Amino acid sequence: MLTYSFENIGSESMYEYLYQCIKRDILQKKLKPDEKLPSKRIFAKNLGVSIITIENAYAQLAAEGYIYSLPKRGYFVSDLKKQTIHPTIENPLAEQRPKNEPAYYADFVRNSVAPDTFPFSVWTRLLREVTATENELALLSDTSVGGVMKLRQAMAEHLYQFRGMSVEPEQIIVGAGTQYLYSVIIQLLGRNHLYAVEDPGYTKLTKIYESNDVKCCHIPMDHLGVMPDILKSSGADILHITPSHHFPTGIVMPVSRRYELLSWAANDYHRYIIEDDYDCEFRLSGKPIPTLQSIDVMEKVIYINTFSKSLAPTFRISYMVLPKHLVGRFYQKLGFYSCTVSNFEQFTLARFISEGYFEKHINRMRTYYRKQRDTILKAIRESPLNPYVTIHEEDSGLHFLMKVNTDVPDAKLIAAAKKAGIRIACVSTYYHKEQANDSHTIIINYSGLEPAKIETAIQRLSESIVEVIQR
């Protein structure tokens, strides 16, 4: 079975990346003429992507003559001998592309969603209904930079019911992914400010800010979250945090620390807090943690969230909620933009939310992920690794921490797991600067792990870590 890693996909869509991978294997003769390619359904399940991704990749390859199809038999590799294609000619851009990671048996780092958990039938039906019943002009016309009003109204109701946030639809701005929205926030607030991020934290965030020509500093954390004293002395104006479930430590910021940070923001006109609530839906025990925005009375919090965790990583619809006093400035300064999400998707998502399907999907996924987590924890308890580890922060989000009682450097733990076909990362990986002491804490991200592979994956991980500890 063909296997490709999507870890270093870069800015390409998934189908474009897959198309390039198959095309390269055909040109390099790793795939032979007339060799049968996997069926779309089996290939999609093996790669952990949607059938649509496979269909689009195959369609592009067929259009360019790299593969051909036979009725009721499938797709086959074309014989390129008589075509003017020269696989030995080097592509000057080839070296700029990241090389494929090895195919791992299990990946505890990559975010993904099992294809059979996405409600394809419901989504397809709603899309057909939208196409048949929505106003054609509304579907085909450029929409406001804020997004389709029906979707923003549905989001406002959902935020009130689920997160206790009382916001107007006009405060909600829809965009294609949080990375796009970060750049919009920078344009709105200005590039002359110092932006602060959590340390450790989401390492890509620093690159996003720096690529947008703003200065960025890193605020260390204690067991409650970012440290207010260091934040105050940093000179930062904008603070970007994940208070409901910090990545990678899993810290849930208590209300006392939240009020400290709100007080910091209120002390200067230019200060704001960006609250990234990226996986708030998946608190697996107890009630969801109230947002920072819901206790902000000074309008200092810009709330941001995405559907990439709750629906799928390739579902590029995100949104932010602006304080009321920033809404006018946003439209005055950035109102010339068009919304970056298609109207078809927006109207479909609006129905998906307002007709209750999103809530049902989240409830179903909570049950699914709770079972995933419990199965992994049980496998760890029954493995040779159990006496060497302590589990932390397993009740929120889609990852937990596994502290290993060892002095073995994190790099050796990662290398040992890799040799066993298991991809892991440690908390130390996510610090801005290399730490003097390793964390010995492995991040177990189980969002895309196949249930059938859990027992074997934990066994392999256990044996590899115990072996390096006892060596």
Note the pLDDT tens digit of each residue in 302-334: 999 998 878 877 778 999 999 999 999 999 999
| 87 or 176, which is more confident | 176
Q: Is the pLDDT of residue 180 over 60?
A: yes
Q: What does each C-alpha distance from 412 to 387, 438, 443, 461 come to in angstroms?
A: 19, 11, 15, 13
Two tokens, residue 110? 């990559």
Distance of alpha carbon 11 from alpha carbon 13, whole angstroms: 7
The CATH number of 142-355, from 1.10.3720.10, 3.40.640.10, 3.40.50.1100, 3.40.50.880, is: 3.40.640.10
pLDDT at 280: 65
Q: What is the Rg, in whole angstroms, of the alpha carbon atoms belonging to the chain?
A: 24
pLDDT, tens only, 349-381: 999 999 999 999 988 888 888 899 999 999 999
CATH code of the region 106-110+361-470: 3.90.1150.10
Q: pTM of the prediction? A: 0.76
- Reported in sequence order, the residue ranges of 260-419 that DSSP labels E, i.e. its strands, are 272-276, 301-306, 318-321, 389-392, 399-404
pLDDT, tens only, 389-439: 999 876 666 889 999 999 999 999 999 999 999 999 999 999 988 775 788
The CATH number of 14-77, from 3.90.1150.10, 1.10.10.10, 3.30.420.40, 1.20.120.350, is: 1.10.10.10
Strands 106-107 and 422-423: parallel
The pLDDT of 62-66, averaged and rounded, is 81
- Reported confidence tier of residue 95, pLDDT bands at 50, 70, 90: very low
Q: What residue ranges do the domains of the chain occupy?
A: 14-77, 106-110+361-470, 142-355
pLDDT, tens only, 216-273: 999 999 999 999 999 999 999 999 999 988 889 988 899 999 999 999 999 999 999 9
- Kindly report which listed range (136-140, 292-296, 350-354) carries the lowest average pLDDT score: 136-140
